[in-house]
């Protein structure tokens, strides 16, 4: 009985770990670090986390997790409520349709895939928020943010791969 | 038995349909949330305040290790600077001592003249110092979350750093407050050029340097001019330093804030007792009646 309970708890923990680790990274990305390099241009950690888990463990990061994740991002951020959820859903739509091109490929291919998908997602969000404010948002800020996000992806994926390899059971 | 079976089939059919259209439904709900935010901000604002209070303590915990990393980095970076700073500070101290004597005599003179004119001094302001626990600055918004504890903070209070205005309180939770920075797209502050008293609006556009708009066509504004609040609209008192003009083009004047908005550890939330911000719908309707 006790073993069953332990097993169940472990299983629930493992299933929620992708969401929990992504949330932790997301919250960490908002912490003020006082690094002059990171002022105003920070990587969009949310996109990196969702991409990683949807490529590697789509069974553990479903649509509802993505919606919840986007909502938490909206709560912390001061951007229009719903815009992060929308970006995450666009990301979901793109990855679920294109993952066959990146899955089980060398890391560089997945990185290129991330660069392409992140660009489309960020541009879609930019367009939606620009319509919301009836004013075009600065593309330069978006561009730098995109570059930093793409550059930071290997580090984010390294952290998440560590979580995946050490704490989550294989998918079989 | 038959009835139960048909009910089961019916439920599984609904579940299948829901799964199929879940993405569409979630897309619609995200758009709906944005629309609600656009049309009736009070619902989202109140929900957001509560949600911020729930999420912020987690970020607050993460600040500790993050600060430690930043401090180690700062320590090595600052070592080089210490000697130079020491020389500069000694010189600065010498000048400040001279200025102090001058200010003392001016203070006395000011008091004498005020008494002579029967001048009514403005109400004393109240402030609290709040620790910044989260900051955000990208193409979509520029804001920060500050820990206010059990201190009373109101929407619309001015957020100041040691160098000048950084923003205003947008919404207040039980222990945390969200501050909209002067660079955010939602920030519009009545300002004036300190020297010439030309008035305008400092409008954020999510870049690091907000624009100066609604200024007279023939206004002579030069690079280096100091921009301060004008006090119009009763949200910010007059004379608070904001930044200086860094570029003057045909249709665009850009202002660089005095404060490094991305490097603030503590901010002052000041209540000047002004009534320019309407707290909620009730106040709006009362004002309308």
Model ipTM value = 0.86
Domain boundary residue among B121, B141, B165?
A: B121
Q: What confidence tens digit (pLDDT) does each residue in B244-278 have?
A: 999 998 788 999 999 888 778 889 998 887 765 55
The chain-wide mean pLDDT, for chain B, equals 82
Hey, which bits of B90-164 come out as E strands?
Answer: 126-137, 142-147, 158-160
Q: Are B176 and B160 in contact (CB under 8 A)?
A: no
Instruction: Closest CB to A30: pick one of B59, B74, B208.
Output: B59
- In angstroms, the Cα distances linking A165 to A74, A111, A161, A168 are 30, 19, 6, 6
Bridge partners, residue B129, by sequence:
B268
- Contact residues, chain A, for B69 at CB < 8 Å: 33
Please report whether residue B12 resides in a domain. Answer: no
Torsion on CA atoms B145, B148, B154, B159, rounded to nearest 10: -60
Asked, for residue A134, whether it belongs to a domain, the answer is yes
Residue of B nearest to A136 (CA): B205
CA distance A50 to chain B (A): 16
Decide the pairing of beta strands B266-271 and B158-160. antiparallel
Query: For residue range A71-113, what is the model confidence (pLDDT) as tens digits?
Result: 999 988 888 889 999 999 999 999 988 888 877 788 999 999 9
Q: Is B135 on the interface with A (CB under 8 A)?
A: yes
CA dihedral B266, B129, B227, B172 (to 10 degrees): 100
- Supply the angle between the helices B41-117 and A2-28 in degrees, to the nearest 10: 40
Flag whether A163 is in a domain: yes
Residue B241: C-alpha distances to residues A14, B97, B112, B191, B193 (Å) = 52, 23, 27, 9, 10
Distance from CA of B125 to the nearest CA of A (A): 28
d(CA B29, CA B33): 6
B267 is a domain residue: yes
- Residue B36 sits in the same domain as residue B151: no
Q: Are B271 and B137 in the same domain?
A: yes
Q: Left (φ > 0), alpha (ψ -120 to 50) or beta: where does A72 sit? A: alpha
Residue B180 to residue B135: CA distance in whole angstroms = 10
Give the model's confidence band at B233: pLDDT under 50 very low, under 70 low, under 90 confident, else very high. confident
Torsion angle of C-alpha atoms B56, A82, A158, B54, degrees rounded to 10: 20
- Looking at the structure, do residues B186 and B47 belong to the same domain, yes or no? no
Please name the residues between 270 and 289 in chain B that touch chain A, using a CB distance below 8 Å. none
Q: Sort out which chain B residues have CB atoms less than 8 A from A24's CB and list them.
A: 62
pLDDT attached to residue B275? 64
DSSP 8-state class, residue A43: -
Residues B138 and B258 in one domain: yes
| A81 occurs within a structural domain | yes
> How many structural domains compose chain B?
2
- Examine the domain organization and report whether B62 and B132 are in the same domain: no
> Residues B109, B145: one domain?
no
Is B143's pLDDT higher than 70? yes
Range(s) of the domain holding residue B55 = 28-121
- Are B139 and B270 in a shared domain? yes
A35 within domain boundaries: yes
Domain extent for A126: 2-167
Which residue among B73, B102, B121 closes a domain? B121
What is the maximum span of chain A, computed from C-alpha positions, in angstroms?
A: 61
Cα B145 from chain centroid?
9
Phi, psi of B277 (to 5 degrees): -100, 130
- Answer yes or no: do B141 and B249 share one domain: yes
Question: What is the residue whose two structure tokens read 């003009």?
Answer: B245
Q: How confident is the model at residue B284, as a pLDDT?
A: 41
Tell me the helix, strand and coil percentages in chain B, rounded to 5: 45, 25, 30
Both B62 and B183 in one domain: the answer is no
Taking the C-alpha atoms of residue B181 and residue B167, their distance in angstroms, rounded to an integer, is 4
Q: Confidence band (pLDDT; 50, 70, 90) for B22?
A: confident
- Asked whether B159 and B165 are in contact (CB, 8 A), the reply is yes
pLDDT at B138 (0 to 100): 83
Is the domain of B103 the same as that of B213? no
Asked if residue B132 has pLDDT above 80, the reply is yes
Residues from chain A contacting residue B55 (CB–CB below 8 Å) = 27, 72, 75-76
Structural domains of chain A, count: 1
Per the domain annotation, does B3 fall within a domain?
A: no
Instruction: Tell me the β-bridge partners of B191.
Output: B200, B229
Q: Is residue A133 part of a domain?
A: yes
> Are B157 and B270 contacting, i.e. CB atoms less than 8 angstroms apart?
yes
- Cα torsion at B45, A142, B138, A162 (round to 10°)? 100
Does the residue B261 lie in any domain? yes
Closest residue, chain B, to A96 (C-alpha) = B23
Decide if B206 and A77 are in contact by the 8 Å CB cutoff: no
Interface test with B, best of A50, A73, A78 (most B CBs within 10 A): A78
């600055």: which residue's tokens? B137
Contact call for residues B187 and B204 (beta carbons, < 8 A)? yes
Asked if B137 lies within 8 A of A140 by C-beta distance, the reply is: no
Over residues B205-233, the mean pLDDT reads 88
pLDDT at A76: 87
Does the residue A172 lie in any domain? no
One domain, residues B146 and B175: yes
Residue B190's SS3 state is: strand
Q: Which residues of A fall within a CB distance of 8 Å from B70?
A: 33-35
Q: Which residues of chain A have pLDDT under 70?
A: 1, 34-40, 171-172
Strand partners, B180: B143, B168
Q: Which of B89, B121, B153 is the last residue of a domain?
A: B121
Contact A30 B73 (CB under 8 A): no
Within a 13 Å sphere around the CA of B193, how many CA atoms are in the beta-carbon half?
20
Residue B143 contacts A, CB cutoff 8 Å: yes
Q: Do B40 and B165 reside in the same domain of the chain?
A: no
B76 to chain A, any CB pair closer than 8 A? The answer is no
């Amino acid at each position: 009985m006790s073993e069953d309970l332990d097993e169940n708890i472990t299983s629930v923990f493992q299933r929620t770990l992708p969401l929990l680790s992504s949330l932790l990274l997301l919250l960490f990305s908002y912490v003020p670090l006082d690094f002059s390099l990171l002022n105003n241009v920070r990587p969009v950690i949310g996109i990196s986390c969702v991409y990683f888990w949807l490529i590697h463990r789509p069974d553990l990061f479903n649509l509802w997790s993505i919606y919840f994740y986007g909502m938490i991002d909206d709560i912390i951020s001061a951007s229009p409520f719903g815009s992060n959820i929308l970006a995450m859903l666009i990301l979901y739509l793109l990855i679920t349709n294109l993952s066959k091109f990146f899955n089980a490929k060398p890391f560089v291919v997945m990185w290129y895939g991330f660069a392409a998908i992140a660009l489309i997602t960020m541009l879609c969000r930019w367009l939606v928020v620009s319509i919301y404010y009836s004013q075009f948002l600065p593309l330069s800020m978006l561009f730098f943010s995109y570059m930093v996000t793409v550059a930071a992806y290997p580090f984010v994926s390294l952290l998440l791969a560590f979580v995946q390899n050490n704490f989550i059971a294989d998918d079989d | 038995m038959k009835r139960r079976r048909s009910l089961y089939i019916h439920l599984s059919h609904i579940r299948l349909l829901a799964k199929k259209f879940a993405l569409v439904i979630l897309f619609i709900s995200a758009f709906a949330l944005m629309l609600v935010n656009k049309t009736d901000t009070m619902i989202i604002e109140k929900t957001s305040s509560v949600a911020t209070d729930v999420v912020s303590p987690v970020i607050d915990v993460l600040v500790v290790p993050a600060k430690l990393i930043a401090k180690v980095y700062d320590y090595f970076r600052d070592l080089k600077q210490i000697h130079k700073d020491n020389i500069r500070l000694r010189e600065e101290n010498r000048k400040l001592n001279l200025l102090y004597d001058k200010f003392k005599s001016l203070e006395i003179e000011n008091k004498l003249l005020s008494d002579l004119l029967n001048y009514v001094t403005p109400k004393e302001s109240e402030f609290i110092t709040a620790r910044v626990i989260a900051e955000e600055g990208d193409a979509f918004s520029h804001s920060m979350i500050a820990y206010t504890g059990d201190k009373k903070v109101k929407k619309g209070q001015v957020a100041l750093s040691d160098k000048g205005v950084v923003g205003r309180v947008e919404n207040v939770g039980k222990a945390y407050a969200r501050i909209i920075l002067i660079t955010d797209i939602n920030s519009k502050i009545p300002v004036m050029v300190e020297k010439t008293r030309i008035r305008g609006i400092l409008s954020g556009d999510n870049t690091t340097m907000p624009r100066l708009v609604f200024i007279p066509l023939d206004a002579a504004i030069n690079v280096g001019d100091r921009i301060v609040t004008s006090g119009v609209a009763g949200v910010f008192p007059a004379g608070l330093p904001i930044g200086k003009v860094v570029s003057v083009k045909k249709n665009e004047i850009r202002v660089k804030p005095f404060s490094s908005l991305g490097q603030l550890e503590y901010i002052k939330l000041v209540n000047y007792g002004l009534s320019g911000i309407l707290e909620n719908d009730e106040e709006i309707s009362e004002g309308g009646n």
